[in-house]
């Protein structure tokens, strides 16, 4: 069995619009310790992350304390919206109702899902039987869950929108997803 622990980043500073450099807030920096505590007993073999600072910083404490190098995978970055969206709720509903909907120069949820699943399948091949951590983002992670469980849609996405950090454990037998467990580290 392969265990993949997707870690949705801790609270980030939304006053910084640049996706690559958006940092965690002070609360986010404190909350990432919850991720470290949860993962410490999981015998993690490798740590991957989106190249975005908020995702990296969320798994950095765990990786450092366990002497694991963070490997960056561009495909695990968050959805590129195309421009700043003032009404994120309406935009998200449109995207979840039509997986091909996108703004000019942005990405559809179908595109996000495809690149994330392709990267995940490479990891499942290269790290079969291992325990893996992947630092990621809310929308990207939600499209991965939706790929394996089509009942996960806008309402489920909306329920986790403020849950940061958030962990989702996938158990795979080869490339077959046997189980998805959603973990709220604030009550764990």
Indicate which residues carry an active-site annotation. 9, 78
Angle between helices 138-148 and 109-126 (to 10 degrees): 70
Tell me whether residue 115 is annotated as binding: no
Give 158: exposed, middle or buried? Use CB within 10 Å, 0-12, 13-18, 19+: middle
Count of alpha carbons within 13 angstroms of residue 37, beta-carbon side: 12
- Which residues in 91-112 are b (16+ Cβ under 10 Å) and which e? bbbebbeeeeebeeebbbbebb
Q: How far apart are CA 85 and CA 42, in angstroms?
A: 38
User: Looking only at Cα atoms, what is the longest distance across the chain?
Assistant: 44
Q: How far apart are CA 100 and CA 111, in angstroms?
A: 8
Q: Which parts are annotated binding residues?
A: 54
Binding residue positions for substrate: 54
């Amino acid at each position: 069995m392969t265990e993949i622990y997707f870690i949705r980043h801790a609270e980030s500073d939304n006053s910084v619009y640049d996706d690559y450099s958006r940092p965690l807030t002070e609360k986010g920096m404190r909350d990432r310790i919850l991720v470290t505590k949860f993962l410490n007993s999981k015998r993690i073999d490798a740590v991957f992350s989106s190249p975005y600072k908020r995702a990296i910083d969320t798994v950095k404490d765990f990786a450092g304390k366990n002497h694991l190098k963070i490997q960056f995978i561009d495909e695990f970055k968050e959805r590129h919206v195309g421009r700043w969206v003032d009404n994120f709720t309406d935009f998200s509903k449109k995207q979840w109702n039509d997986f091909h909907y996108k703004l000019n120069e942005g990405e559809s949820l179908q595109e996000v899902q495809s690149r994330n699943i392709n990267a995940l399948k490479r990891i499942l091949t290269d790290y079969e039987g291992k325990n893996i951590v992947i630092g990621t983002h809310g929308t990207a992670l939600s499209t991965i869950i939706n790929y394996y469980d089509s009942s996960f849609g806008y309402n489920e996405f909306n329920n986790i929108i403020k849950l940061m950090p958030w962990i989702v454990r996938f158990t795979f037998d080869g490339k077959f997803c046997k189980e998805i467990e959603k973990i709220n580290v604030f009550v764990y």
